[in-house]
Amino acid sequence: MAREIRYGSWSLAAAGLTVLFAQAFHPSMLGVLWAAETAGWLALLLAGLLAFALFWPVAVQVARVPGSSLISLARETGGRPTAVATALLAGGLLVYHSGLVLREASEMAVTLVYPHTPQTFAMVALVICVLYGALGGIDAMVLLCRSFLPVLLLVTVGILFGTLGWGEIRYLLPLWGPGPGLLLARTPLVVAIYSPLLFLLAGASRLHDRQHLWRAGLVATVGVALLFAAVKVVLVMTFPYPLGSTIAFPLHALARLVIGGRFFERIESLWLFFWVYATACHLGAVLHASAAMYAEAVGFPSHRTAVLPLLLTAGTIALFPPDIGRAIAWHVKLAPVALGIAFGLPFLLVVVHLIRGRVSNGG
Amino acid sequence: MPIPPTLESVRDAIAASLHWPNNLGVELQPVHPAEPQGVEMLLLYIQGLADEELIRLRVLEPVSRFSCQDGRLTPARIRTALHSPRVRLEGDFDAVIEGVLKGAAALFVQGGADAVMVEIGSPATRTTGGVTSEQPHMDVFGTELIDNLALVRQRLSDPALIAEPHSLPRQRGTAAVLFLEGRADPEVVAQVRAWVERRGGEEAMRRGLAAGIRGKVGLLPERLSSKWPDHVATMLDTGYVVVMIDRVYHAYIAPVTATAMLAGAFDAVQIRPNSHLLRLVRFTLCVLVLIGSSSLVALMNYHHEMIPAPFLMALVSIRESAPLPILGSVLALEAFQEMMREAGFHLPGRFAAGAALIAGKILILILVQGGVIGALEGAVSVGVAFATLGLLNYELVYMLRPLRFAMILGAGAFGFFGMATILFLISMYLAQSKSYGVPFFGEPGIHYAAPGGISSRTQGGRTHGP
């Protein structure tokens, strides 16, 4: 008798939050946050709602398809060629994303966080973590995230409370920023940060509809939006406009102002200890998702077969950008494409599937 | 539910509700009165909960002398014959079972609408003796299996609690596999049963506590051990499976999960917020044990910028006379601490381990004052040592002790980045590890009920235990 694991909303939300927490630190996110300017907290809230509005119907529909995964949806909709094409597009995006994030992370680890660490070691250590995470599978990843999340939230809340003493309420007003029009225009860019939620969809081949995939997505999306919004609120309360809107690494900036920060001069080194952990979870999950997609599309018995070739591909991509600036530029350019593939592709498949279902039912 | 009319149906009802005869300690025996001859009654009680000497004196002997001239044996007449204010009639079968689980004996008569209940409970206790104001009054296990089972049943008087008997012929002993039916995962129960039948019980009888700790190559033990009935009852109640063995004064708990490792013996007698808080405290202690000394090494070797300049200057001046680098000092202190702990285990007396630890700390103080090591690493070493003392679970401490050295070496080589990498690899290893098929970060029983999720068996995860 095979033992079955059931994930509740909490586990999936934990996985989503951990993945997105790591995303928040990537340099490519900074451009998005800069664009949000003073009312970034509102932009992030809007982004959260928009991401949920896009994510929810897709997840609900995918959960209705036998197999409950993006690839099974594609196979149901257009047969095996569509499934392979979907895996190439979505999985390819994830591998490309992994490569760039790997490069950014190792560069950041060396230049910003751990100046005494050799870059080769940073890269190799991350690759080992990612490989282990991806081979470990979605079970281990979700369980790990679930155990890690309370620590993450505790530290974040501690930092937020520790910085409130410097705040000024007037900087919270949206009109201090660029105004509602520009804000709304830039919101879709912010939504791009939610593209790793595709990971949840990719992992959905193992999840059943009764496990409330959509609710987990809701909790993860809105939770992260609230987290970022809270960070941005405190940032804007702490630093006046326009300074507050141009600060890179808002979490780092806040971390430096923790009351304990009077003791620790650069507490971000400690703070980014958690970031390394979350990044390893993030990259492992993303690589696992792409491997699972390919394995399902071409009919491999296990995703493990695809992990090493995909990791090698991601590692090669990581070495392409000549410097971190170029890596960030590529990643920012990738955001709209990621948005389209993460949300547009499943949405398109769901619509076609629904239409075909109705046609066949009518016939 | 009324009392079944015939003794055969009474037997069936007891088999259904108390899993007799496959439930160790549940005693159902025939009783015969003097007159009329050839008539049979059934006596039901639980060994250890009901005093067998009192049963002999107050039930068996009076009943064996009882003579009914007209041949009409009824529960009311038996009650009169037993002649005690602690004897009553009970017409509800469920209430009878409930009474038996609380230590009473029940006498069933052929065709009787009631059972004769005799309150003779005189449960076995075995207290710790040294009760302090901080700790509640706690019983501990002895070496008699029946008494140990009774100690658990006192705390968990649930008919679903099953103690499956398994004989250990080579050691002439008995083992019991305890679980709560409907709450424990049947597959885990089957695996634990297989371990006992594969002479695991005999191994445990020979090796005692070591049989629970000794596992395959890896970090996690195969089983946890406990000598506290309250602890064991709580674990059974949350779906774990327990093995108790004759002449072994520890119970073995399976599967090994993070929650089980952080649970303490005294949690069972705490109200819920406090027990959660205690687990949080233990988790914090685990983190402190793991990263306490290594953080110091990382800070002093790689991340000077995190320390304010005046404090850094003070630290440098303190360490000026120290001959060893910080990594060497910390490693030496940790190794010294391990030696003192090991020495403490071999000293006689209850407080020997604590005394050895205190002696070690005094030696560290002397080393600091003599300028051999820095004050900071001495203070951190003392803090980590006391954090280790705060973790009650031996298996957890054994798991953390070697990992601490890996973290120190990682910090010495690559600072916080090395620590984060090693911590992730350890966490990933733990997340993949399974004990009796249950993930280390999972919970037994409750998450495995419904079909259609992930088959953890097909994920190729690492498995501990048989």
Q: Return mean pLDDT, chain A.
A: 69
C-beta atoms of A6 and B449 within 8 A: yes
Distance CA B465, CA B221 (A): 8
Which residue did the predictor score with more confidence, A150 or B162? B162
C-beta atoms of B303 and A263 within 8 A: no
How far is the alpha carbon of B441 from chain A, nearest alpha carbon, in Å?
6
How far is the alpha carbon of A175 from chain B, nearest alpha carbon, in Å?
37
C-beta atoms of A277 and B461 within 8 A: no
Confidence check: pLDDT of B460 > 50: no
Name which of B417, B441, B450 is nearest A4 (Cβ-Cβ). B450
Confidence check: pLDDT of A360 > 50: yes
Q: Residue B383, Cβ neighbours under 10 Å: how many?
A: 14
Name which of B187, B451, B461 is nearest A139 (Cβ-Cβ). B461
> For residue A304, which residues of chain B lie inside 8 Å, CB to CB?
460
Q: What is the share, in percent, of chain A residues with pLDDT greater than 70?
A: 47
Q: Which residue of A has its CA nearest to B420?
A: A273
How far is the alpha carbon of B398 from chain A, nearest alpha carbon, in Å?
21
How far is the alpha carbon of B295 from chain A, nearest alpha carbon, in Å?
9
How far is the alpha carbon of B374 from chain A, nearest alpha carbon, in Å?
20
The verdict on whether omega for the bond into residue B36 sits within 30 degrees of 0, i.e. cis, is: yes
How far is the alpha carbon of B320 from chain A, nearest alpha carbon, in Å?
22
Name which of A206, A277, A304 is nearest B424 (Cβ-Cβ). A277
> For residue A278, which residues of chain B lie inside 8 Å, CB to CB?
none
Confidence check: pLDDT of B241 > 90: yes
> For residue B258, which residues of chain A lie inside 8 Å, CB to CB?
147
> For residue B446, which residues of chain A lie inside 8 Å, CB to CB?
none
C-beta atoms of A2 and B455 within 8 A: yes
pLDDT value, residue A196: 54
- The SS3 of residue B9 is helix
C-beta atoms of A114 and B416 within 8 A: yes
Q: Which of A9-13, B74-78, B139-143, B149-153 has the lowest mean pLDDT?
A: A9-13
Phi and psi, residue A308, nearest 5°: -65, -45
Distance CA A82, CA A84 (A): 5
pLDDT value, residue B134: 45
How far is the alpha carbon of B297 from chain A, nearest alpha carbon, in Å?
13
Confidence check: pLDDT of B179 > 90: yes
H-state helical runs in B302-393: 309-318, 326-346, 352-369, 375-390
Element (H, E) at B108: strand B105-109
C-beta atoms of A143 and B441 within 8 A: yes
Distance CA A340, CA A328 (A): 19
Contact (CB, 8 A) for B356 and B344:
yes
Q: Which residue of B has its CA nearest to A273?
A: B420
Report the pLDDT averaged over residues A314-337.
80
> For residue B458, which residues of chain A lie inside 8 Å, CB to CB?
2
Contact (CB, 8 A) for B253 and B225:
yes
Name which of B187, B420, B449 is nearest A1 (Cβ-Cβ). B187
C-beta atoms of B417 and A267 within 8 A: no
pLDDT in tens, A297-316: 888 888 888 888 899 999 88
C-beta atoms of A125 and B417 within 8 A: yes
The residues pairing with B454 across neighbouring beta strands, listed in sequence order, are A5
Report the pLDDT averaged over residues A127-135.
86
> For residue A136, which residues of chain B lie inside 8 Å, CB to CB?
428, 431-432, 461
C-beta atoms of B306 and A267 within 8 A: yes
C-beta atoms of A1 and B441 within 8 A: no
C-beta atoms of B454 and A267 within 8 A: no
pTM value surpassing 0.95: no
> For residue A67, which residues of chain B lie inside 8 Å, CB to CB?
none
Confidence of residue A258 (pLDDT cuts 50, 70, 90): low
Interface test with A, best of B307, B432, B438, B463 (most A CBs within 10 A): B432
**Cβ-count burial of A313 within 10 angstroms (0-12 exposed, 13-18 middle, 19+ buried)?**
middle
Q: Which of A305-319, B135-149, B328-342 has the lowest mean pLDDT?
A: B135-149
How far is the alpha carbon of A110 from chain B, nearest alpha carbon, in Å?
9
What token pair was written down for A71?
């690839």
Contact (CB, 8 A) for A38 and A236:
yes
C-beta atoms of A3 and B460 within 8 A: no
Contact (CB, 8 A) for B393 and B308:
no
C-beta atoms of B453 and A4 within 8 A: yes
> For residue A208, which residues of chain B lie inside 8 Å, CB to CB?
452-453
pLDDT value, residue B161: 92
Q: In what order do the strands lie in the sheet with B463-464?
A: B438-439, B434-435, B463-464
Name which of A144, A206, A273 is nearest B420 (Cβ-Cβ). A273
Confidence of residue A356 (pLDDT cuts 50, 70, 90): confident
Which residue did the predictor score with more confidence, B73 or B251? B251
Name which of B415, B447, B461 is nearest A117 (Cβ-Cβ). B415
pLDDT value, residue B449: 37
Q: Which residue of B has its CA nearest to A115?
A: B302
pLDDT value, residue B409: 92
C-beta atoms of A266 and B424 within 8 A: no
Confidence of residue A201 (pLDDT cuts 50, 70, 90): low
Confidence check: pLDDT of B144 > 60: yes
CA-based nearest residue to A200, from A121, A285, A110, A274: A285
Distance CA B416, CA B364 (A): 26
Would you say the C-alpha torsion A53, A59, A62, A63 has a positive or negative sign?
A: negative
C-beta atoms of B308 and A147 within 8 A: no
Confidence check: pLDDT of A135 > 60: yes
> For residue B448, which residues of chain A lie inside 8 Å, CB to CB?
3-6
Integer CA distances (angstroms), B139 to A184, A205, B148, B155, B231, in order:
66, 49, 10, 11, 10
Q: Which long-range contacts (CB under 8 A, 24 or more apart) does B304-311 make?
A: B305/A265, B305/A266, B305/A269, B306/A264, B306/A265, B306/A266, B306/A267, B306/A269, B306/A270, B307/A264, B307/A265, B308/A263, B308/A264, B308/A265, B309/A265, B311/A263
H-state helical runs in chain A: 9-25, 27-36, 40-64, 70-86, 92-108, 119-163, 180-191, 198-202, 213-238, 250-256, 268-298, 304-319, 324-339, 345-362
Confidence of residue A209 (pLDDT cuts 50, 70, 90): very low
C-beta atoms of A208 and B420 within 8 A: no
Q: Which residue of B has its CA nearest to A206?
A: B454
Would you say the C-alpha torsion A219, A222, A228, A230 has a positive or negative sign?
A: negative
Q: Residue B61, Cβ neighbours under 10 Å: how many?
A: 11
Between strands B105-109 and B115-118, the pairing is: antiparallel
The contacts of residue B68 (CB under 8 Å, 6+ apart) are B33, B35, B36, B77
C-beta atoms of B439 and A265 within 8 A: no
Distance CA A102, CA A331 (A): 12
The contacts of residue B279 (CB under 8 Å, 6+ apart) are B259, B262, B263, B264, B267
Confidence of residue B164 (pLDDT cuts 50, 70, 90): very high
Confidence check: pLDDT of B289 > 80: yes
> For residue A211, which residues of chain B lie inside 8 Å, CB to CB?
453
pLDDT value, residue A176: 55
pLDDT in tens, B394-434: 778 888 888 999 999 988 888 888 888 898 899 888 888 88
Contact (CB, 8 A) for B295 and B419:
yes
- The SS3 of residue B29 is strand
Q: What is the share, in percent, of chain B residues with pLDDT greater than 70?
A: 84
Confidence check: pLDDT of A36 > 60: no
Report the pLDDT averaged over residues B281-287.
87
Name which of B258, B302, B428 is nearest A114 (Cβ-Cβ). B302
Confidence check: pLDDT of B34 > 60: yes
Name which of A133, A144, A265 is nearest B307 (Cβ-Cβ). A265
C-beta atoms of A129 and B459 within 8 A: no
What token pair was written down for B240?
């774990």
C-beta atoms of B187 and A109 within 8 A: no
Contact (CB, 8 A) for A238 and A257:
yes
pLDDT value, residue A157: 66
Residue type, A231: V
How far is the alpha carbon of B396 from chain A, nearest alpha carbon, in Å?
17
Q: Residue A172, Cβ neighbours under 10 Å: how many?
A: 17
> For residue A207, which residues of chain B lie inside 8 Å, CB to CB?
453
CA-based nearest residue to B252, from B303, B217, B201, B295: B201
Judge if ipTM > 0.90.
Answer: no
> For residue A128, which residues of chain B lie inside 8 Å, CB to CB?
421, 425
C-beta atoms of A140 and B417 within 8 A: no
